[in-house]
Amino acid sequence: MSLSDHVSPAHTIVILTGAGISKESGLQTFRDPDGIWAKHRIEDVATPKAFARDPEAVLGFYNIRRAQMGDPEIRPNAAHKALGMLERFWPGGVLLVTQNIDDLHARGGSRNLIHMHGELMKTRCNECGHLVEGIGDIETDMVCAACDAAGTLRPHVVWFGEIPLEMKAIEAALGRCGLFVSIGTSGNVYPAAGFVQQARRHGAYAVELNLEESLGVSLFQEGRYGPATEIVPAFVDELRALAEG
C-alpha cells in the first residue's frame, strides 16, 4: 500500500514534532541517554513549583538553552526545511504543531505553526502577560517594560502541570485532517502523545517518522524509521509527487 491509497491532495495535514527533529541541528533531546532529563530533574527545572521554589535555578536552565540558540552552528536542518516546503506546495493545507521551544521550524520556513509548549525566545510577565522576544538572559530582579512590576518575568514556556497553548485550534485541526504525521517524538508527554488517537478517531491516516519506534507505535498505520534529515525529506518528496499527480 502506498500513501496515495490513503491520502488525497485535498486533505489537510497535521504534523506534530518533538525534540528528535532538532537533534541533527545540534540540540539535545529529552529522553535520549545524553538528553536533557539525564542531567536535570523535571521537578527541579520544568514545573511552576520549581520556579516558585528556586527561580534562579529555573531561569538559569532556560538562559543556557536560549543562549545556545545564538550559536550559528544551530540552524534549521533538512527536515525543518522540507516541512517548510511542504506547507508551500500542499493543496489541502498544513498545520505544524511542535512540542519544541526552539525557533528552528520558523527559521526553516514553516508559517502555519503552533508552539504548544511555548517558545524559548519569548519572555512573559506573570503580572500583565506582556510578551517580549529576545535571546538575552532573564534575571529575577528584572522589571516588566509594560507594567513596571519587578521580579515577574518567566520563560514563555509550558511547564509540566500547565495547560499547553492553542489546544482548541489543535483539536479542531485534528478533527478535520486527512493525514497526521508524528516526527521526532517519543510519545511520552500528554496531551501531545494522544493527538494521533484524536486524528484517527476522525478518519485520518497516521504515520510516525522517528529514529526508533515510539511508545505510541501501535497507534499509527505506518512507521518509517531513521534520522529525520533523511526520512522527512523523502516523505515530503512522496507527498510532492502525490500533489503533482
Site of interaction with ligand BV8 (CB under 6 A): 18-20, 23-24, 29-32, 35, 46, 99-101, 117, 157-164, 167, 184-186, 188-191, 210-212, 214, 227-228
Measured from the CB of residue 46, what is the shortest distance to ligand BV8 in angstroms? 5
Torsion angle, CA of 41/30/111/244, rounded to 10 degrees?
-160
Q: Quickly tell me which residue has 479542531 as its cell.
A: 172
Measured from the CB of residue 148, what is the shortest distance to ligand BV8 in angstroms? 28
Q: Is residue 130 among the annotated active site residues? A: no
Measured from the CB of residue 245, what is the shortest distance to ligand BV8 in angstroms? 30
Measured from the CB of residue 5, what is the shortest distance to ligand BV8 in angstroms? 25
Nearer to ligand BV8, 51 or 205 (CB): 51
Burial of residue 245 (CB within 10 Å: 0-12, 13-18, 19+) is exposed
157 with 189: CB under 8 angstroms? no
Nearer to ligand BV8, 48 or 203 (CB): 48
Nearer to ligand BV8, 24 or 222 (CB): 24
Measured from the CB of residue 178, what is the shortest distance to ligand BV8 in angstroms? 24
197 with 190: CB under 8 angstroms? no
227 with 78: CB under 8 angstroms? no
d(CA 190, CA 182) in angstroms, rounded, equals 14
Nearer to ligand BV8, 78 or 149 (CB): 78
- Selected catalytic residue, list 105, 115, 117, 156: 117
Which residues, other chains included, contact 18 with Cβ-Cβ below 8 Å and sequence gap of 6+?
Answer: 29, 98, 99, 100, 182, 183, 184, 185, 186, 192
Which residues, other chains included, contact 5 with Cβ-Cβ below 8 Å and sequence gap of 6+?
Answer: none
CA 181 to chain CA centroid, Å, is 13
Nearer to ligand BV8, 44 or 127 (CB): 44
Torsion angle, CA of 69/73/77/80, rounded to 10 degrees?
20
Measured from the CB of residue 110, what is the shortest distance to ligand BV8 in angstroms? 16
Q: Which residue is nearest to ligand BV8 (CB)?
A: 20
Nearer to ligand BV8, 188 or 221 (CB): 188
C-alpha cell at position 109: 520556513
**Residues with active-site annotation:** 117
